[in-house]
Amino acid sequence: MIKATTVDIPVSAGNEDHYRLRMGPQHPATHGVLRVDLDLDGETIMECEPHVGYLHRGFEKLAEHRTYVQNLVLTDRLDYIAAMANNVGYCEAVEKLLKIEVPLRAKYLRTMVCEMARISSHLLWLATHALDIGAMTVFLYCFREREELLELFAELCGARLTTTYTRLGGVRQDVTHSIMMKLVRFVDAFPANIEEYETLIDTNRIWLKRTVNVGTVSARDAVSLCLTGASLRGSGVDYDVRKHFPYAAYDLVDFEIPRGETGDTYARYRCRMEEMRQSNHILRQCIEQMPPGPIIGDDAPDLVMPNKPGRKVEVDTPARQGLIKLVEDRDIFMEGDVYVPTEVPKGELGFYFISDGNGSPYRMHIRSPSFIHIGALKTLAKGAMVADLIAIIGTLDVVLGECDR
């Protein structure tokens, strides 16, 4: 059972059954620094009040003082377990704002790393969710596969988690034959691994007791709570940004969107397991269809972007100034605003930019799925048991780095 971190004095005299329980922010089952204030009647949750902001780093403000290229490293630290997907989402948005074309190979590479990030994020979700509920072995098996993917990231771009892989107008590094051979091996072996996880928990009666009919949310409620990703699809709503507003090369690959019917924790679990299979399928297609060509577009801006229009980049070096062409006659600084959604493992990640014509955004807003999912916690946890709250936090798949940003 859950150990309380702090117990307050009972709320009012004559109402001894009611008391307040503070869960977190150091509670391991809250997946980071989430604090939840609970009003309990016995063990039933009467009121649940999530408190966020313990990991606030002010990314949206920081972004106003840095160029578009520099802001890319901030997105690594949003959802730090699927940094690749954030990188892609950020670059898709900036490219739409600056009207930069991406070559086909870069699009395929982006799709590929996005799906790798999705698998590694879902593996971590399954591992921690199962650990919270009490299944230890799944945790170990999931980390075995996740390690392989992280090592592929390290070989591809030099870092396991803070990848900074994409570029405005393309990607940073091309894949090598050795990376692709390892990926092929992973893709071939992975469906058997999913079966292993399913053997352990799929029909396990403890798992079913803890997940079936826990945290049920109807399709109508899920839409009105702005849930996205697998949390929404578990309720049977057919919405996936990859399918409905395709970006990168998602319109060139074939995949299906799994959705559940009942909208409980078990349905969301099934959805994510199916999503991993679909991601694996997309990875296989990306490997097979990987086209030749450049990895970065011709009109990609220089890394050293000026952050004021008209301010020249210092040119005091031999030969050309940099790696990537600085297209000086082209007006790279657009005015206006743009919102681009992308499907990250957690749900719909949107970047909203307002640009006043400078080299850095006037305002950057991040629509992070975790923040909105924590907002739904209040509705989902009402009437549930304290132990079920752990399952509900796990099933919403929140990452506090993205929530507090």
* Residue among 135 and 381 whose Cβ is closer to another protein: 135
- Between residue 36 and residue 75, which ones bind another protein under the rule CB under 8 A? 66, 69-74
Is residue 257 a contact point for another protein (CB under 8 A)?
Answer: yes
Q: How far is CA 248 from the centre of its chain?
A: 16
* Binds another protein by CB under 8 A, chosen from 13, 14, 292, 329: 292
- Between residue 69 and residue 108, which ones bind another protein under the rule CB under 8 A? 69-74, 76, 105
Closest by Cα among 302, 357, 309 to 100: 302
* Binds another protein by CB under 8 A, chosen from 157, 249, 340, 392: 157
- CB 33 to another protein: min, Å: 21
Is residue 379 a contact point for another protein (CB under 8 A)?
Answer: no
DSSP of 310-327: TPPPP--SSSSSSSS---
**What CA–CA distance (Å, rounded) separates 320 from 327?**
12
**What CA–CA distance (Å, rounded) separates 57 from 43?**
35
Q: Which helix (H) or strand (E) holds 45?
A: strand 44-51
Is residue 154 a contact point for another protein (CB under 8 A)?
Answer: yes
Tell me how crowded residue 307 is: count the other CB atoms within 10 A of its CB. 16
- CB 19 to another protein: min, Å: 36
Measured distance between the N- and C-terminal CA atoms of the chain, rounded to whole angstroms? 31
Stretch that binds another protein, among 51-59, 151-159, 376-384, 390-398 (CB under 8 A): 151-159
* Residue among 40 and 230 whose Cβ is closer to another protein: 230
**What CA–CA distance (Å, rounded) separates 141 from 126?**
10
**What CA–CA distance (Å, rounded) separates 347 from 231?**
8
- CB 345 to another protein: min, Å: 17
* Binds another protein by CB under 8 A, chosen from 204, 216, 358, 379: 204
- Between residue 118 and residue 137, which ones bind another protein under the rule CB under 8 A? 137
* Residue among 73 and 354 whose Cβ is closer to another protein: 73
Tokens 């299979």 belong to residue: 277
- CB 365 to another protein: min, Å: 19
What DSSP character marks residue 198? H
Backbone angles phi, psi at 95, to 5 degrees: -65, -35
Q: Which helix (H) or strand (E) holds 48?
A: strand 44-51
Q: Which helix (H) or strand (E) holds 362?
A: none
* Binds another protein by CB under 8 A, chosen from 119, 124, 324, 398: 324
Site map for another protein, 206-245, x if CB under 8 A? --x---x-----------------------x---------
Q: How would you class 26 by CB atoms within 10 Å of its CB: exposed for 0-12, middle for 13-18, buried for 19 or more?
A: exposed
* Residue among 2 and 252 whose Cβ is closer to another protein: 252
Stretch that binds another protein, among 241-249, 256-264, 363-371, 372-380 (CB under 8 A): 256-264
- CB 157 to another protein: min, Å: 7
* Binds another protein by CB under 8 A, chosen from 274, 388, 397, 404: 274
Alpha helix ranges (H) inside 31-135: 59-62, 68-76, 83-98, 104-133
- Between residue 160 and residue 189, which ones bind another protein under the rule CB under 8 A? 162, 164, 172-180
* Residue among 44 and 162 whose Cβ is closer to another protein: 162
- CB 232 to another protein: min, Å: 14
List C-alpha distances in Å: 277 to 31, 158, 237, 240, 255: 25, 27, 19, 16, 10
* Binds another protein by CB under 8 A, chosen from 44, 216, 262, 358: 262
Is residue 253 a contact point for another protein (CB under 8 A)?
Answer: no
* Residue among 15 and 176 whose Cβ is closer to another protein: 176
Q: How far is CA 129 from the centre of its chain?
A: 16
* Binds another protein by CB under 8 A, chosen from 27, 242, 270, 346: 270
**What CA–CA distance (Å, rounded) separates 89 from 262?**
30
